[in-house]
Structure 1
Amino acid sequence: MWGSGPRTAVLVHGIMTDSRTWKRVAPAVADHGYRVIAADLRGHGASARGETYTPAAMAADLLESLPPAPDLAIGHSLGSAALLLAMDGLSCARAVHCDPAWVSRPRDLAALRAVKHATWQEVRAVHPRWDDDEITAEHRALATWDPNSVTALLHLPGLPAAPAVPSLVLLAGPSERIPPVAAATLRSRGWHTRTVDGAGHTVHRDDPVGFLHGLSGWL
């Protein structure tokens, strides 16, 4: 947890990592007057492994573990899919979905599971923009990650209709998850979209400054 402000923000990470993914940006969010709480999805970090891995099951976990009615909810990738499905019960005031994994696309699940055994050097090669502390945190996250959770990617919710609350979709630049046509569809349905140019899928770690700038007006 970061901060002790009068408002509450909840953060939900993506697949393969854990709540430590937010450590470079969470203090800045807290500085806007928030108590910031980061969840660990099932099969990740300090959370227990699950018999079933779907975004819906992860959404149910969030509703059990997160405080009700937060002022702000931010989800990344698979965490955004879980957050999307939890919105009605969570009753947050506004939401930010960071390069969300909403739409299914061809994936080699065996290759994704194999990332479990990546060395520190291999993680570094994939994420050249991260500092060494970030690489170490990600490598440690892999040690507690259940690779069976990749099956959740087979059950993504699809491109949503109108948002339940004011919502921003903050995209990588360019985004493989939400390409321009899909982004235009979201805008037509009432979603706000912004792009952090040059950032990869893990926007908040690839470009923390750009990520926070993208949240201007939403914190």
Structure 2
Amino acid sequence: MRLHTRTWGEGDRLALLIHGIMADHRTWRRVGPALAGLGYRVIAVDLRGHGASGRGDYGPGLFAADLVETLPAGAELALGHSLGGLALSLAVDRLRPARAVYSDPAWHLAPPEPGFGPEALAGFKAADRERIRAMNPRWEEADVDVERETLALWDEATALGLVPLLGRDLLPAAPLVPSLVQLADPSSVVLPEHSALLEARGFEVRTVPGAGHTIHRDDFEGFMASLEGWV
């Protein structure tokens, strides 16, 4: 499936941005222009089931295949958050960016506690401003507005497509290109023992102190600082 995209900048270098579940390209409203200011042409996708992209069956392999169909290979930088990080890790052998950044990637989906599984995640589609604000107290008001708009377009069936992954560790065996793993503090999707394993496998791992799962919205300055040497 070819995905809807949004572009910032006209630089000679190319950066690719891949959002997480429930979001779309608008989650990068500050990151896209910031990278464009560094000389990149930035392309952000809407994953299938999100934003203006099409609907269909859902699963990590399909998300990855869509990236390969939509995005050019050989970009200088590819950055994926959460589900987008998982999809990027499954597509990186074909996209072959010069560098990859995985921002709190969904590489470990623990079996849920009662009331906190994919079904509950799907139910978040109906979240109002107060609930979004309570879960993300550090977000700017503009990000709360964007979240409400993207939830309205999101197909919550994408969450149910994650059920087969519960309880599995999906960490890549090796970085196929130079790769940074950027973690929340603490991360619920890359556990401490995983951090050590990833470093042993050749990934660089950096934690953004105090940041929640959506690091670029929780602490934009910390997010950008954590990318030093990678952008």
Q: Give yes or no for TM over 0.5.
A: yes
What 5-or-longer segments of structure 2 have no aligned partner? 1-6
Q: Deviations over 1:112-158 (max 9, x none)?
A: 11101111222122111111111000100000000000133234471
Deviation of residue 100 (structure 1)? Answer: 0.5
Aligned to 1:154: 163
Q: Give the conservation status (yes or no) of the 8 Å contact 2:17–2:42.
A: yes
Which range moves more in the overlay, 102-111 or 10-19?
102-111
Mean CA deviation greater in 134-143 or 144-153? 144-153
The 2-side partners of 1:37 and 1:97 are apart by: 16
Is residue 2:216 matched to residue 1:204? Answer: yes
Equivalent position amino acid for 2:162 in 1: L
Which residue matches 1:145?
154
Q: SS in structure 1 opposite 2:184?
A: strand
Aligned-pair identity in percent equals 54
Match of 1:202, as an amino acid?
T
Q: Tell me the alpha carbon deviations over residues 2-56 of structure 1, each in whole angstroms, 9 at most, x when there is no partner.
A: 1110000000000011110011122111122100110110000111111x21111
Name the aligned partner's letter for residue 65 of structure 2: A
What is the CA-CA distance between 1:203 and the residue it aligns to?
A: 0.4
Question: Which of 92, 106, 110 is matched with 1:105 structurally?
Answer: 110
Please tell me whether the aligned partners of residues 54 and 151 of structure 1 are also in contact (alpha carbons under 8 angstroms): no
1:217 corresponds in structure 2 to 229
TM-score by length of 1: 0.96
Paired residues, what number?
A: 218
Mapped pair 1:43 → 2:49: yes
For 2:29, the equivalent position in structure 1 comes to 23
Superposed CA RMSD in Å reads 1.1
SS in 1 for 2:161: helix
Q: 1:180-215: CA deviations, max 9, x gaps?
A: 110000000000000000000000100000000000
Residue 71 in 1 paired to residue 80 in 2? no
| Closer/same/farther in 2, CA of residues 172 and 147 from structure 1, 3 Å limit | same
Q: Which residue of 2 aligns with 1:169?
A: 181
Q: Which residue pairs with 2:19 in the alignment? A: 13
